[in-house]
Amino acid sequence: QSVLGILGGGQLARMLAIAAAPLGVRTLVVDSAGDACAGQVAPLCQADWTDFVALEKFAAEVDVVTFDFENVPADTAHWLAERVAVFPNPRALAVAQDRLAEKNLFRECGLQTPAFEAVDTREDLSRALAKIGAPSILKTRRLGYDGKGQFRIKQLADADAAWEALGANAHGLILEAFVPFERELSVLAVRTRAGDFRVWPLTQNWHTDGVLSLSLAPAPNVGELQSHAEALARTLAEHLDYVGVFALELFVKDGQLLGNEMAPRVHNSGHWTIEGAITSQFENHVRAVLGLPLGDTSARGFSTMFNWIGELPDAAPVLNTVDGHWHDYGKQSRPGRKVGHATVCAQDTKTLAARVGEIARGLQREEQAAPGIRALSS
């Protein structure tokens, strides 16, 4: 029996552990928090990223190491890679941890990006704003997630406030043009150690305050964008010798794809694949990193995922809906925290829109569901 080590014990590790079990794969999770939610479904080794005594023991107990948390220090990833197989490789992880390196790589691989400039000083910010203008977004290069570490510059006069908010960041900043996109898509992709590569159908996503709120898959009316996204994801994966699942977050502007960021791990916008695809992102990630053959990434029908942020709503309206699926991560409620999600599936878009509407009314979440229902009806 193989043992998969997972760095980070959040909901992604939890869902990986659940997907690993039927394959006969045991999991061992590392997290500094004793109450990490993956610990409810898998053994947990409580240690921080520089506890090399605990990590030495962990490395000896597992066959392969992977990530739930993309901000594991690169030094720790490299140290582990000298002792045990680590997928994705630490170089790929390092690129994805830095918005500047990531965007440079996107361009090298033929994926256009919003205009961007590196910003390390207040003078850099003025220079960058002179080039990019407003509206724009100042972001920390590292460690941002769920819209944290970002400042939206609506007009040039906001520069001081933006610098005040983020200027002290030790890892540097990046200024990006604000893209008035038509929509946001993501592509989930998976590559094996042998180089086998697949993507799932494109997902359409809606964010609220920088946090994913709703996803719809397959994204409607994507036409050629599916094959463009697939080709770009493949180029990136081959360039990084990437093994496992990753997500590319994309903006569609004037019908063209722009790269926002990549997540070197399973991704929130792929949670629909648990019930909505032949093989889920979690199962294929486990298969890929362990050197097993991949499963089919086709959609079974149409799916919508609601993200539950801060606290869980009542489960009953989801459980009472045909093909409705409830996911409680077993986390404490906290503002802004991802505590669960629900996926509802159907064989056609009309039925799906009706089911999504039924759940939204039951939970008084009409606003959250509205863009999905509109897209399903278009």
Binding interface with ligand ATP (CB under 6 A): 114, 137, 144-148, 176, 178-179, 184, 207, 210, 249, 260-261
Query: What are the CB-based long-range contacts (under 8 Å, 24+) for 124-130?
Result: 125/159, 125/162, 125/163, 125/167, 125/173, 125/175, 126/159, 128/175, 129/153, 129/156, 129/159, 129/175
Q: Which is nearer to Mg ion, 71 or 351 (CB)?
A: 71
Contact, 187 vs 233, CB < 8 A?
yes
Q: How far is the CB of 261 from Mg ion (least distance, A)?
A: 5
Dmax (CA) for the chain in angstroms is 60
Check the CA dihedral 311-14-282-90 and report its sign.
Answer: positive
Q: How far is the CB of 207 from ligand ATP (least distance, A)?
A: 4
Structure tokens at 16: 């990986």
N- to C-terminal Cα separation, the chain? 48
Q: How far is the CB of 299 from ligand ATP (least distance, A)?
A: 22
Query: Does 99 show up as a binding residue in the annotation?
Result: yes
323 φ, ψ to 5°?
Answer: 60, 30
Q: Which is nearer to ligand ATP, 23 or 101 (CB)?
A: 101
Taking CB within 5 to 8 Å according to partner kind, which of Mg ion, ligand ATP, none is near residue 210?
ligand ATP
Give the residues across from 138 on adjacent strands. Answer: 151, 175
Q: Which is nearer to ligand ATP, 324 or 340 (CB)?
A: 340
229-268: contacts with Mg ion (CB under 5 A): 249, 261
Structure tokens at 71: 């901000």
The residue number whose beta carbon is nearest to ligand ATP equals: 179
Q: How far is the CB of 332 from ligand ATP (least distance, A)?
A: 20
Query: Does 242 show up as a binding residue in the annotation?
Result: no
Q: Which is nearer to ligand ATP, 52 or 178 (CB)?
A: 178
Query: Does 144 show up as a binding residue in the annotation?
Result: yes
Taking CB within 5 to 8 Å according to partner kind, which of Mg ion, ligand ATP, none is near residue 137?
ligand ATP
Q: Which is nearer to Mg ion, 265 or 325 (CB)?
A: 265
Q: How far is the CB of 232 from ligand ATP (least distance, A)?
A: 17
Binding site for Mg ion (CB under 5 A): 249, 261
